[in-house]
Amino acid sequence: MPAMNMQQMMKQARKMQAQLAEAQESLKDVEVTATAGGGMVSVTATADGVITAIEIDPEALDPEDVELIQDSILAAVNDALDKAQDVTNQRLGAITGGMGMPGMPGMF
């Protein structure tokens, strides 16, 4: 297999950079949803990590048990963000071939 010259490497790097930018931009259009508390709380986030909606079942609003709803919200938010990160890793990892990217430890 012939060695790749510097021009070819730079061209390939620019192509990968453009693909990454496009994939990162598309993440804002991908939504994930997580629920907690037996469905009492639902959180929707985009794959770029933005929470877009939080829904709480009115029956879950018990003034005597505020801690339960707080814990449910926290659990649903964290689950939604984990799902968003998974989508991000899958999409961007497919482009980078699983190689680590500088400044982004643990991603891809």
- Phi, psi (rounded to 5 degrees) for 26: -70, -15
Q: Quote the Cα angle for 20-21-24, to 5°.
A: 85
Domains of the chain and any CATH numbers:
30-96 (3.30.1310.10)
What are 34-49's pLDDT values in tens digits? Answer: 999 999 999 999 998 8
Q: Is the pLDDT of residue 108 over 70?
A: no
Name the helix (H) or strand (E) containing 61.
Answer: none
pLDDT tens track for 53-95: 999 999 988 889 899 999 999 999 999 999 999 998 888 888 8
C-alpha span between 65 and 73 (Å, rounded)? 13
pTM more than 0.75: no
